[in-house]
Amino acid sequence: MSDQKVSCEEVHEHICDNLDEELNSPNCKAIKMHLIECPDCAAYLKSMKTAIHLYKEYPSPQLPESAKRAIEEHIKKIIYS
Ligand SMILES: [Zn+2]
């Protein structure tokens, strides 16, 4: 079961679920294996992390709710595109 294969689609889905855990949960083992072998998914993960890092790194208390929501929508688009 440790060499269970996952598809790129599954990787994308589970990356979304597990980003906060830095993919350290045992369930992510197959995903990690996939990321090592699949440059496309590795690049996808990197772009996801960059977007979320930027979002967390530069919290702007002065931003109006509408602007915050626009940023959230933008990140969602990156995640689900
Ligand atoms: Zn892949």
Q: pLDDT of 20-71, one tens digit each? A: 555 566 667 788 888 899 999 999 888 888 887 777 777 666 667 777 788 7
Q: How far is the CA of 6 from the centre of ligand 1 (A)?
A: 8
User: In degrees rounded to 5, what are phi and psi of residue 49?
Assistant: -65, -40
For residue 74, name the pLDDT band (cuts at 50, 70, 90). Answer: confident
Q: How far is the CA of 54 from the centre of ligand 1 (A)?
A: 24
How many angstroms separate the CA atoms of 24 and 18, rounded? 8
Residue 26 lies in a domain: yes
How high is the pLDDT of residue 52? 77
Q: What domain range includes position 75?
A: 8-80
Say how far residue 29 (Cα) sits from the centre of its chain.
Answer: 15
Indicate if the pLDDT at residue 1 is higher than 50: no
Indicate if the pLDDT at residue 5 is higher than 90: no
How high is the pLDDT of residue 2? 45
How many angstroms separate the CA atoms of 45 and 24, rounded? 14
How many angstroms separate the CA atoms of 43 and 49, rounded? 10
Q: How far is the CA of 12 from the centre of ligand 1 (A)?
A: 8
Residue 22 lies in a domain: yes
Structure tokens at 16: 């979304």
Residue 2 lies in a domain: no
Structurally, how many domains does the chain consist of?
1
